[in-house]
Structure 1
Amino acid sequence: MGMSVTISAATEQDAEQILKLQYLCFQREAELYGDYGIEPLTQTLDDFRAELARCCVLVARLGEEVVGSVRGTVDDDGTARIGKLIVHPRLQRHGLGGRLLAAVEDRLAQEWAAKRYHLVAGDKSEGNLRLYRKNGYAPVGTENDRRVTLIALEKEATTYATSA
């Protein structure tokens, strides 16, 4: 490609690109579960802008193009809830998802005092579950969201890797 992917904090100017990429990336999940009403596909730009203002949102760029993103926030008890980890389909399986995950973990631990990380993945989302297990997450239970069984995974903040 000739350019390297950089990861940084998302800005208001990234909102529309992130939301479009989110819509693209969650099409496969919607198809897999037969549910096109999932929140990542129905989230409005205004809702995302509000989320951007109150959460840690990172963006991966290839030049000027947004090619990945991840979000996280920390509860009062120190649990960081990580979600909407997305990578453009043409860049998947090249380690960018792992880099984004490590970067958000690092940021949440250093700037938001995270003690542990929590995320969920659909029980049929084998690639996502494999990525999370590879990065030290262990299943801790299940949750239900509409028609989807979600596997909840966690790891302690002391085991995070520094961002790439």
Structure 2
Amino acid sequence: MGMSVTISAARAQDAEHILKLQYLCYQSEAELYGDYAIEPLTQSLDDLRTEIVEGHALVARLGDEVVASVRGRVEADGTARISKLIVHPRMQRHGLGGRLLDAIEDQFAGEPAAQRFQLFTGHRSEGNLRLYRSRGYVPVSREQIGPKLTLVTLEKEATASAYVTSA
């Protein structure tokens, strides 16, 4: 490609780019579950900006283009909730999702309050489940959201991230 992908904190001016990328990336999830009203596809720009301000957000850039992103926050109980890990379809299957996941875990590991990492995905999202398991996450619960969707919550202890090697 000639350029390398860099990961950094999201800036306020990245919000619109992240939202457009989120919309693109979640089309396949909506199709998989037959539900185009999922929250990532209906989230407003203002809500996204609030998420960025109130939590942590990282972006991966190829040159000036935002090609991937992840967000999260640490709850009062010490759980770092990671959400909306997205990678542009043309950049998928090159390790970028794993790099972003590692990077956000590293951010949360620096916070004494982060005792565990937690994220969720749909039960049919095999690529997501494979990535999360390769990074040491284990399923801890399942919640039926509708007739076609069960959310699988996965978790790992914060200290475990230092010992897991990528697949």
Residue 130 of structure 1 aligns with which residue? 130
Q: Deviations over 1:88-141 (max 9, x none)?
A: 000100000000000000101114631100111100000000000000001111
Alignment coverage as a number of residue pairs:
162
Question: Unaligned 5+ residue runs, structure 1?
Answer: none
Matches within 5 A, 1:136-151: 136-147=136-147, 148-151=149-152
- Distance in 2, matches of 1:161 and 1:97, equals 17
- In the superposition, relative to structure 1, how do residues 82 and 99 fare at CA in structure 2: closer, same or farther (>3 Å)? same
Question: Unaligned 5+ residue runs, structure 2?
Answer: none
Is the CA contact 1:138–1:154 (under 8 Å) kept in the aligned structure 2? Answer: yes
Does 2:28 align with 1:20?
no
Residue 120 of structure 2 aligns with which residue? 120
Alignment-mate amino acid for residue 71 of structure 1: R
In the superposition, the TM-score normalised over structure 1's length comes to 0.95
In the superposition, the TM-score normalised over structure 2's length comes to 0.93
- In the superposition, relative to structure 1, how do residues 73 and 83 fare at CA in structure 2: closer, same or farther (>3 Å)? same
Residue 98 of structure 1 aligns with which residue? 98
Residue 160 of structure 2 aligns with which residue? 159
1:161 deviates by 4.2
Alignment-mate amino acid for residue 151 of structure 2: L
Matches within 5 A, 1:43-122: 43-111=43-111, 113-122=113-122
Q: Deviations over 1:128-159 (max 9, x none)?
A: 00000000001111123344201110000001
Alignment-mate amino acid for residue 100 of structure 2: L
SS of the residue 2:110 aligns to? helix
Alignment-mate amino acid for residue 98 of structure 2: G
1:22 deviates by 0.2
